[in-house]
Structure formats: structure tokens, C-alpha cells
Chain A
Amino acid sequence: MANIFDILGPVMVGPSSSHTAGAVRIGLIGRQLFGRQPDKASVYLHGSFAATGRGHGTDKAIIAGLLGMKPDDLRIPDSFKIAEEMGMNFVIEPKELRDAHPNTAEIIMESEDGRKLNLQAFSIGGGRIRVNRLDGLDVSFSGETNTLIVKNQDQPGCITDVSTVLNLCGINIATMQVFRAKRGGTAVMVVETDQVVPRSALEMLEGRTGIIKVTFLNVNEKE
């Protein structure tokens, strides 16, 4: 249910809450999940994002988000130039994605040290978004709260490991979702938490058997 500041607001750079403000958020969440500014970003726009994205500044908005800008940042229209100045290479292309929401973007982020993250998200209007694919696995989260994402082997004990570590750190789980590609294959846990998960906890998790990758989206993080 919308609160009154979803009705009056957001304060944003125009022209469209879904195609501009939402697109900034998709880029920004990509950056937060990647943990830093990527050295290279490949952005693919689907559906209405591809058809009307240029006129709505969707392309500039996603790049702005990847550079760490928020939806009300007045530098959004100049994001291409700023990306060049800050050394972020990027390509933007239309792409037909199967069964995707009309306002969907796929972003592949890469760094020179070989790290890579593939994210797919869509804009639901009012500047709000949902992430629905991460490194090829289906997920579903808004990025509006602190979110821990754990990629693991689908084997017994992984969920216990995660909940134990969070418990040791005094962190309360708000919501938890578990997805897997196939039995015994790769799985992903999306855990929304009331508190920030400290670096030490993330490192502890990374060392556990069966856990492949740990990512934490800290919504309060100041850069």
C-alpha cells in the first residue's frame, strides 16, 4: 500500500518515474550489489525501455545509477560524459528478453580483476523496482531494505549456516526466499534483514562449505 510520500514524491529528475527514476534505481542497486563502480557495464533494454528509453533518458539514468547517483541527482542528463571521466566503459543495446516485464533492463557488470555480476530488474512505476534475476537465477526483491544474497550449492545445511551466522551477529531476518535452478544444482537465498550484516559475517559465510558467493545490499551505505 502506498504511503503519502509515494503519492507526493519521489523528488526526481524527469521525465518518467518508471522510465527514468526507476532506471536510476536499477543502476544504483546493480552498483551496490557489485560493491563498487564496475569498470565495464553492458546494459540491455527490453520492451518499452527499448522502444521509448532514449526519449525518457532511461539509458542515461541506468548509467547514472551505476555511477552511484540517486534519482534526484541533477547530473543524470550528463551521465555518459561523467562515466567517461570516471573510467567506466559501457555499451547500451536493445535486447528481446523472454517473458520479461515491459520495463526490464539486464546489466552485466565487470571489473578488471575478473569479477562479474549479471542482474535483471524491472521498473514497476513510482520509481520502485524489482530485481528478478541475478547471475542467471530467478530471484525477487525490491532493494528497498537491507538484503543478503547467498549463492550456494543446493545441499543440506546451507540455510542453517546462514541463519546461524545471522543469529550470532544479532541480526533479525525480515523475509527469506530460497530459489534453485535444479535439485542439487545452484541455489540462491534472498534474505531481507532488519540490521546491517557486518563484513565479518559475510566473510564467515563465504568460508562455509557449499556457499559460492555472498553479496550484501546495504541501503544505508554512504559512499
Chain B
Amino acid sequence: MSYQSIEEAYARCEKEGIEFWKAVQLEDAEERDVKEEDSWKQMKGMWQAMLDSIDTYDPALTSRSGLVGKEGGLMEAYREKGDTLCGDFMGKVMANALKMGCNNACMKRIVAAPTAGACGVLPAVLVTYYREYGVPEETMIEAMYVAAGIGQIIAGRAYLAGASGGCQAEIGSGSGMAAAAICHVKGGSKEQLGHACAMALKNLMGLVCDPVGGLVEVPCVKRNVGGAVNALAAADMALAGIISQIPLDQVIDAMKEVGDRMDVSLKETGIGGVAGSLRAQEVLRAME
């Protein structure tokens, strides 16, 4: 049985004297009746698939609607000029988030994390950090377990699909998972990674799912940037000793409540939000 709350996971960590990622791995091995090393091998495969995916980006491609595709290349070229507002590292994070979002829209191979629409957040944070600072790969795979464990708790208490809970469930959850994961990489405690996740989720709470034409393109590709930048900011806050005054489990429950109250036009129906804008209607007519 997977963890129903972060508190339950913490309790196991304390009882067995293990780190959060290990508690997630042990639970996976028990749940699926596989060896720990087989679970690790599978997670390593997911990590490798993320590394590979970023490198397949091709700025010359556009999506089937023609709305997205070149954003990753534009951001990369701008960053290389060395004059970004957010600094070089954050410029790389943003470029990688865009590249993954574009890859997804252009039918390249990606890793859903937790969904295809939000596939850029986690690799933008983890892969960029890994390549920038040369962290051991083992640490990154541990971070993948942290992300997966957090995602599983969110899936159990709330949801991960835009159609169920709005974009807060997709980019929001991806951002919370990434915040916790990078916090682990930076040596944060299990409490700190929980706070990082809670803060990331709160910052994106209420985010609606309003894809133009129902396609995973606008505003999804750029929201991956929002999710990644937010994750790093939340992790930095947690590592600075700032805590979420609302415990993570209660934040997830609040996210569920917000998602339940969200109007159906704002849950991946292509009706409300920017999907309902005049420009979106023009784009749709042009696509017919």
C-alpha cells in the first residue's frame, strides 16, 4: 500500500532510520513485488530517458497546429548572449523546460512527469542542475524517487490530471515534485523537502487547465517554465529555513478542494480561460 500522507512516509523514515527516497523505493519494491535493485534499474531508465529527451530537441520543428516549437531555441540563443534577467543557470532551466514542452507538442519521446503536458518541469530542474554542477548520478536517481513519492501522495489525496483538478494538478504537482527532488539533491532534510513541495504547490494553487483547442501546446509549453522556476524558488526558501505554515498533507487536501470547486470549463475542456479568448477562436478557425 503506497503512502497516504507525507506524515506516514516520515514515520517510516524515522522508524527505520532511512531517508525519504529510500522509503519510497522500499514501498515500490514491496508493492510490485520486485527487488530493490530492479526498482532502481527501472528508475535509472526513467532518468536516462529524461536526459535523452532534452537532447532530441529540434528548433526547426513546429507542432501540428503550428503554435509552438521554436521557443526552446529562442530562449537558448538569448541566454547564450549572457544578459538574462534571471541569470545563466535559470536561463538554462527555462530553455530546458521549453525544449521538453516543445518536444512533447512535436511528438518526440518524453517522460510523463506526472503528465505529458507537465513533462518539462522535473527535467528542467534536475537535468539542468546535474549538468551544471556535476552531481553523482546516484543522487539524481534518489531525487527521482523523491519526486515519484511526492507525486504518489498527491495522486492518492488529490489528482494529477488537468481534466480532474485543473493545471494545478499537472504543472502544480510537477512543480511540487521538482521542488522536493532538488531539495534532496542539495542535502535538505525530509522536512525541508516537504516544506519546499508545500510552498511550490501553494504558489500554483488554483491554476486552471485552459488549453487552446484542447491541445497540449498553449499555454502548456510555457507553463512548464513557470513550474520549474517556481520549484527552484520554493526549494531555495526551504533550504533557507523558511517553512510552510500549512503542513504538506493539508496543502494537498486544499488543492483537492480547490480542484473540486473549479468550474468544468476550466478543466481541460478547451472552453474557459485563454482557450476561450478571441485569439484562440481565430487560431481554431484557421486550423479547420
Contacts and interface: CB of A to CB of B under 8 A. Distances in A.
Given A1-B2, A4-B152, A55-B213, A13 B115 contact: no
A8 B116 CA distance: 10
A4 B117 CA distance: 18
Interface string B108-147: 1111111111010010000000000000000000001101
Contacts of B114: 7-8
Given A3-B32, A7-B114, A8-B113, A52 B106 contact: no
Contacts of A21: 112, 116
Interface in A17-34: 17, 20-21
Contact of B152 (A7, A56, A57): A7
B217 A15 contact: yes
Query: 8 shortest A-B CB distances, which residue pairs?
Result: A14-B104, A7-B151, A52-B214, A4-B148, A15-B216, A55-B215, A77-B107, A11-B49
A11 to B, nearest CB: 5
B17 interface: no
A137 B113 CA distance: 36
B116 A14 contact: yes
Contact of B112 (A1, A57, A76, A126): A126
Contacts of B148: 4-5, 7-8
Interface of B: 1-2, 24, 28, 31-32, 42-43, 45-46, 49, 63-65, 103-117, 119, 122, 144-145, 147-149, 151-152, 155-156, 160-161, 163, 213-217, 270, 287
Which of A11, A21, A60 has its CB near the most chain B CB atoms (within 10 A)?
Answer: A11
Contacts, number: 129
Given A8-B148, A11-B49, A14-B110, 11 more contacts: A3-B2, A4-B152, A8-B46, A8-B147, A11-B112, A12-B110, A15-B217, A20-B107, A52-B270, A55-B65, A55-B217
A20 B205 CA distance: 27
B116 A20 contact: yes
Contacts of A1: 1-2, 156
Contacts of B149: 4
A16 B148 CA distance: 19
Contacts of A12: 109-112, 116
Contacts of B63: 15, 55
Contacts of B215: 15, 52, 55-56
B81 to A, nearest CB: 29
Given A4-B148, A7-B148, A7-B160, A76 B107 contact: yes
B161 A13 contact: no
Contacts of A57: 64, 107
A73 to B, nearest CB: 8
Q: Which among A3, A15, A16, A76 has the greatest number of chain B C-beta atoms within 10 A? A: A15
A7 B154 CA distance: 10
A15 B28 contact: no
A75 B215 CA distance: 21
Nearest to B56: A74
B109 A125 contact: no
14 contacts: A1-B2, A4-B149, A6-B155, A8-B144, A8-B151, A9-B46, A12-B111, A13-B107, A15-B116, A16-B117, A52-B270, A55-B215, A72-B109, A125-B163
B286 to A, nearest CB: 12
Nearest to A48: B214
Nearest to A52: B214
A205 to B, nearest CB: 30
Contacts of A126: 112, 115, 161
